[in-house]
Amino acid sequence: MSQFWLLAVFTTALNLLLAQAGAQAQDAASDRGAEARAEMARLSDLAGNWVSQVRTPNPQGDLVPRGEERAHIYYLLGDLALREEAQAETLPGFAIESTIQYDQNRDLYRLVAMDDTWGNMDIYEGGFEDDGILRLTNLRSGTSYVAPDGSQTNFRLSFTIHDHDNHEFLVEQTVDSGVNWSAMVAYIRRREID
């Protein structure tokens, strides 16, 4: 046998092994994406254009209507993320965007929120709880709001999906690392009919 023939056989075998390993890696990667896509599909009723009744606490702590806002929520990155762009009409000059994805490596949802007022990128983590509500906090990430006196406020975001055309988004705050929570703002959303 010639050396060239042995080299050709060896090269062919190596290429076949590498191709098989690459195909297995591709299958594993697409399986992981499938898991994340399935978890993100649980949020499909959030996608769309929304009219939000904004409610904030009165002095007694009851949530009372303050006005309406609009929000646009849409999938991106091959349905692996949802982005929200809200027009904060009740808070003029305050714009906020958020993106949520499912982290299949840690089995949790992660939301990143950015605004044009404080400049803080908040990172929230959590999941669906037994009551069917998706709750995320920024307690673990440490992206709390720090007041000039050094005190810290953390936030919890709760998404209650009632049906395809209605959901609620509640923002709560805590100053004692999650021992007690108080409502900060609630968005009662109904799908905007085009």
**pLDDT tens-digit map of 118-169:** 778 899 999 999 999 999 999 999 888 888 898 899 999 999 999 999 999 9
Asked if the 42-191 domain carries CATH number 2.40.128.20, the reply is yes
DSSP state of 193: P
Domain boundaries, the chain: 42-191
Average pLDDT of every residue of the chain: 86
**pLDDT value of position 134:** 97
For residues 64-76, average pLDDT: 92
**pLDDT tens-digit map of 16-29:** 665 676 656 565 55
Burial class, 122, CB count within 10 angstroms (exposed 0-12 / middle 13-18 / buried 19+): buried
Contacts of 159 (CB under 8 A, 6+ apart): 43, 46, 133, 134, 135, 167, 168, 169
Furthest-apart CA atoms within the chain: distance in Å = 93
Q: Give the pTM.
A: 0.80
**Element at 40 (helix H, strand E):** helix 3-41
**pLDDT value of position 85:** 86
